[in-house]
Amino acid sequence: MSKYRDDQIKQFAEIFKALSNPNRLRMFLHLVTCCVPGTVGSFDAEAGVSACVGDLGRDLDIVPSTVSHHIKELHRAGLIRMERRGQKIECWVDPVILRGLARFFEEPLTT
Amino acid sequence: MSKYRDDQIKQFAEIFKALSNPNRLRMFLHLVTCCVPGTVGSFDAEAGVSACVGDLGRDLDIVPSTVSHHIKELHRAGLIRMERRGQKIECWVDPVILRGLARFFEEPLTT
DNA sequence: TCGATATTTCGACATATATCGAAATATATA
DNA sequence: TATATATTTCGATATATGTCGAAATATCGA
């Protein structure tokens, strides 16, 4: 039997659903490789290591309303944080959840 | 930009799609906690650390045909291996893909 | 060979999802 | 205040998914 509670399993399933669309996964990877505070580059509330919605849609060949929809899904799953800064809305990856996902797949290999 | 090729991104998206259904995720976790050869218990082609389709459907409250469907999805995503042994079909987690998933979420935190 | 057990295939159906385009909202700047 | 830029909301549509039940297939044991 699993070490995870039922609600935790549902939460992980939500996370994986958010990452199950190739375009959404690309956005997530874009953020992961540039915008994880405290790891790749330091996060400064002023400077902000992050990307706005427009940045994430570039090179993806989908219209802004679809980008917005995908970002909302990533946010709902708890994968990213968002904050308005002027006209733009900045996004970055929540490092806590990233660590939790790493452990999810690591642990069965080490225990 | 991402370190992953387009086809790799699509493959990861397939994997996450396979794990995006709570029942399927439960089956995967069941296998992960009992049937990863070389880690949790040793894998022997004769003895076999694995679970059959019936085992995986137990406690899940879904009919066998649905279990079969879900297992096929996990297999198509490359997450599990299957082999007939008598009447039963045994399943176990591919440790290589598990390692790949751990790295997928680890690496942005360590580079 | 017959019956029991294990699993898959097939067809159906209800629900969810990805995407678009048009219109609305928020913010900055001239 | 008017205009430009950034983003969201809404409605539509085509496609995918989860689940079931019935029927088919595979294997074992009497």
- The pLDDT score that the predictor gives to residue B45 is 37
User: In this structure, are strands B80-85 and B88-93 parallel, antiparallel, or unpaired?
Assistant: antiparallel
Compute the mean pLDDT over every residue in chain A, rounded to the nearest whole number.
Answer: 85
Q: In this structure, is the dihedral angle defined by the CA atoms of residues A104, A106, A109 and B3, taken in order, positive or negative?
A: positive
Distance (Å, whole) CA B60 – CA B39 = 26
Mean pLDDT by 10 residues, chain B (111 residues): 88 98 96 66 42 82 96 97 92 91 84 62
Q: Is-contact B56 B27, C-beta < 8 A?
A: yes
What 3-state DSSP class applies to B85?
strand
Taking 3-state DSSP, the helix, strand and coil percentages for chain A, each rounded to the nearest 5, stand at 50, 15, 35
Percent of chain A clearing pLDDT 70 (strictly above): 83
Domain that holds residue B77: 6-110
Q: Is B3 on the interface with A (CB under 8 A)?
A: yes
In a domain, A78, yes or no: yes
Residue B1 lies in a domain: no
Q: Is residue B97 part of a domain?
A: yes
In this structure, the strands spanning A80-85 and B51-52 are unpaired
Average pLDDT over residues A28-56: 64
- Closest to A36 (Cα-Cα) out of A26, A48, A24: A48
**A76 strand C contact, CB < 7 Å:** no
B98, A105 Cβ separation under 8 angstroms:
yes
Which chain A residue is nearest to residue B111, measuring alpha carbons? A40
CB B74 within 8 A of CB B18: yes
Point out the residue among B3, B4, B106 whose CB comes nearest to the CB of A102. B106
Return the CATH number at A59: 1.10.10.10
Is the pLDDT at A41 greater than 50? The verdict is no
pLDDT by residue (tens digit) across A56-108? 888 899 999 999 999 999 999 999 999 999 999 999 998 899 999 999 998 77
Q: Which of A27, A83, A90 is nearest to A58 (CA)?
A: A27
To test the contact with chain B by mutation, choose from A39, A103, A106, A110 the residue with the greatest count of B C-beta atoms within 10 A, namely: A106
A22 contacts B20? CB cut-off 8 A:
no
Q: Which residues of A touch B29 (CB under 8 A)?
A: 2, 4, 9
Overall domain count for chain A: 1
Q: Is residue A12 part of a domain?
A: yes
3-class secondary-structure state, position A5? coil
Give strand ranges (E) for chain B. Answer: 51-52, 80-85, 88-93
